[in-house]
Amino acid sequence: MRHRYSILFFPLHIIVDFLSLNVGFVGAYWIKFADIQSVTHFPYESLWIAFNLVWLVEIIVFKPYIYPRQLFKLDHLLRKLALLVGVHMAVIAIFWVAVKGFYYSREHLLIAYVLFVGLAALFRLSSLLFLREYRTRGYNNRRYAIVGYGKLATTIRSFYDAHPEMGFHFCGYFDDHTDENQSLLTGSYAELQYHIKQNEIDCVYCCMPYVNNDQLRVIVESAESANYQVKLLIDFRGFLAKGTSVEYHDFLPVLNVSSQMLLDFRVNVLKRAFDMAFSTVALGCGAPLLLLMAAITKTTSKGPILYAQERIGRDGKPFTIYKFRSMYTDAEIAGPLLSAGAKDNRITPWGRFMRQTRLDELPQFYNVLKGDMSVVGPRPERQFFIDQIVEIAPEYKNLLKVKPGITSIGQVEFGYAASIDEMVERLRYDLLYPERRSFIYDMWIIMLTVRVMVQGRGK
């Protein structure tokens, strides 16, 4: 059987990661408590089970061990590991809150994740080095042929020749014979299927437009019975520099050439799923806190509990944002004004505490569930202030390409702005977000926000 050992990589990867996860958990327990036996007793046995169940669900959902050889690189492997660990930490944090696990040691969790990431990263590095050397020596190779001789064909061969660690072995060019390519071809189109069977070719690269539809149909229809893959090569390099995207008109793929890339679909889907899950947990588990804050807001000053105001969201669409009221009801009787921070006498004493701890923003999880906002994203502003900001900093319009958020890097690093100049200054932080937007970046901002809330450093 071809590549009989390749099938072992997948279960081996799973087994080693589970071993690393459990060694990290138990090892951290021993480092923290100098004991091993009690890790199987209450309360840590439930946390240990949660550790493994969450990782199992991640494997089923994200399928992290399925990737082509071209992506078997250290940076790609570590990015995937970081994503998985980030999701794992977030779910364990939610589990901690749900079970009210005040008896768990944060130091133990930190050590457990450090050990796990270290062991998992070491395994990935070792696997990468082993496979590179193994494939460079001629083992575990994939045999490939190229159909349609031309510049694109020589480019793909040069790529694999320059990267022997990927384990691709060239088995010839196939095309119609001409005076120019006669000495370079292994065979014609008619001879292709014979060579595929004789050389046990795994992959056939078809270079467009040198292969016509009838020839391509024969190659594709024979692929299943002869057990090889068919891959199309189309030279888009001249277009990719300008930015491209693929649209599907029914089953027909259409290359869209434009000056702006479409937002990454996978990031958007993952971000929306996380927003809904996080907001549901926050509103559900935080309901007693929300009711307590509502009661305190109502009894400490006259006026409504919630403050509703129109803000501008993604693509310039207005929406109504909700917050716990932190100012007196006549705060903006003279017109729209920015908060002057701690010295602003329009803020109630209770409102000042809520602003310092960011607790006044909690009702915005409802905005997240509605889809108006995200958990992480640039803070939304009123059109009145946006018009003034754009006059000074037109690049503010870039923030309208993404959903506004409850918290942002600008809100964490700078805080509330007391003037248009300060809003422009905060802008230099928020402009980083549309370009760096990722799940890991969002988790990092959330952790910084929690630190600000606990320390009461909001301003």
What pLDDT shows up at residue 343? 64
Number of helices followed by number of strands (H, E) in the chain = 18, 10
Q: Which fold has domain 142-257?
A: Rossmann fold (3.40.50)
Greater pLDDT, 116 or 161: 116
**Confidence band for 219, pLDDT divided at 50, 70 and 90:** very high
Give ∠ CA 341-342-346 in degrees, rounded to 5: 75
Q: What is the C-alpha to C-alpha distance for residues 135 and 212, in angstroms, rounded to an integer?
A: 34
Q: What is the C-alpha to C-alpha distance for residues 359 and 214, in angstroms, rounded to an integer?
A: 65
For 172, other C-beta atoms within 10 Å of its C-beta total: 19
pLDDT above 70: percentage of residues in the chain: 86
Domain with CATH 3.40.50.720 in the chain: 142-257
Q: Is pLDDT above 80 for 41?
A: yes
What pLDDT shows up at residue 8? 67
Q: What is the C-alpha to C-alpha distance for residues 269 and 274, in angstroms, rounded to an integer?
A: 9
Helix or strand run (H / E) with residue 320: strand 318-324
Greater pLDDT, 8 or 368: 368
Task: Write 11-20 long-range contacts (CB < 8 A, 24+).
Answer: 13/65, 13/127, 14/59, 14/65, 16/120, 16/123, 17/55, 17/120, 17/123, 18/52, 18/55, 19/119, 20/115, 20/116, 20/119, 20/120, 20/123
Q: If you write DSSP's letter for every residue of 230-243 in order, what string do you get?
A: EEEE---HHHHTT-
Task: Identify whether the C-beta of residue 411 lies closer than 8 Å to the C-beta of residue 404.
Answer: no
Q: Is pLDDT above 60 for 178?
A: yes
Residue type, 306: L
**Confidence band for 260, pLDDT divided at 50, 70 and 90:** very low
Chain CA centroid to CA 253, Å: 25
**Confidence band for 255, pLDDT divided at 50, 70 and 90:** low
Of the listed ranges 272-276, 350-354, 416-420, the least confidently predicted one is 416-420
**Confidence band for 336, pLDDT divided at 50, 70 and 90:** low
Of the listed ranges 55-59, 65-69, 408-412, the least confidently predicted one is 65-69
Task: Identify whether the C-beta of residue 175 lies closer than 8 Å to the C-beta of residue 189.
Answer: yes
Task: Identify whether the C-beta of residue 434 lies closer than 8 Å to the C-beta of residue 389.
Answer: no
**Confidence band for 135, pLDDT divided at 50, 70 and 90:** confident
Pairing of strands 405-407, 244-249: unpaired
First to last CA, the chain: 66
How much is the average pLDDT of 82-87? Answer: 92
Order of strands, sheet of 168-174, starting from the edge strand that comes earlier in the sequence: 168-174, 142-147, 203-207, 229-233
The model's pLDDT over 237-251, given as tens digits with 9 standing for 90+, comes to: 544 444 455 555 444
Helix or strand run (H / E) with residue 226: helix 223-226
Tokens of 456: 């009461």
Mean pLDDT (the chain) is 84
The model's pLDDT over 265-303, given as tens digits with 9 standing for 90+, comes to: 556 777 888 899 999 998 988 898 999 999 999 999 888
Tally the C-alpha atoms within 13 A of residue 327's C-alpha that lie toward its C-beta: 18
User: CA gyration radius for the chain?
Assistant: 29
